[in-house]
Amino acid sequence: MTRERDEIIELVEKLLAMTEDAGCTSAEAVAFALRAQRLIVEYDISEEELGSARRKESIDSVKASPVFREWANLLADVVARNFRCRVYVTVQQRDLKRGSKRRGNAKRLFTFLGYATDATAAAVAFDHLYRCGNALAVDAGTGKKLKGDAYKSFTAGYVSGIASELEKQSQALMIVVPMEVNASYEHMEAEFAKATPLAGWLHNEDLEEQGWKSGRDAVRSGRLGAEDRSHLLA
């Protein structure tokens, strides 16, 4: 093993250790995890070469925070593909208030299946990007929150913008979902629901473009919202 490879592996181990438990914010944790993932793929680093941060890492299921918007289905699919994971969803209805017979928005619980580090990073990235998408879905002129088809147009564009940036990196590094992860997913597939696309809606091209730029910038800006400080670990 060359000295350069030893140094890369040491850096990856340091990046993997930068978690929320170690004092990082959620955005910083996913930035470090994403950087580690890219190095692992770029240098074809095996699990055996890594130390305690990833020793004998198993395939795991990691749940993201519950969400209520349909467009989360699109976001979960994009995040899973680019973090070497598969994703499934559990949908639960919620009551508007106690004792009410009316039903509120469906609660969606997305679970990312992959190697533990990948699945954890995917869940954190999903949570961060979902919150950003909701916060950015405002009318550019009035500053008011978008609703209905306008909201769907913006968020559909937002996810497309995220996909365009993440997939450029994934294609360049030939990131694919590991065979072991696909096998685990297929073994469990009959037990859970699949994410479904948005229901029929009226497209607004201007809002889709606004959303696309916001999604692109959400990834470009400091690697999913956190300043990339991985050079400080070298």
| 13, part of any domain | no
* Position 99 pLDDT exceeds 50: yes
| 20, part of any domain | no
* pLDDT digit string, tens, across residues 135-174: 999 998 898 999 999 999 999 999 999 998 888 767 665 6
- Entry pTM: 0.72
| 81, part of any domain | yes
Distances in Å between the Cα of 57 and the Cα atoms of 47, 75, 233 are: 7, 26, 23
SS3 106: coil
Q: What is the pLDDT of residue 194?
A: 59
How does 154-163 read in b/e, with b if 16+ C-beta sit within 10 Å?
Answer: bbbbbbbbbb
* pLDDT digit string, tens, across residues 50-84: 665 554 467 888 999 999 898 999 999 999 988 88
At 130, the pLDDT band (50, 70, 90 cuts) reads very high
| 163, part of any domain | yes
| 49, part of any domain | no
Helix (H) or strand (E) holding 170: helix 148-173
Q: Which amino acid is at 8?
A: I
Range of the domain at 145: 58-221
* pLDDT digit string, tens, across residues 20-52: 677 877 667 767 777 777 787 777 777 667 665
| 234, part of any domain | no
Q: Are 93 and 102 in contact (CB under 8 A)?
A: no
Structurally, the chain folds into a number of domains equal to 1
| 195, part of any domain | yes
| 155, part of any domain | yes
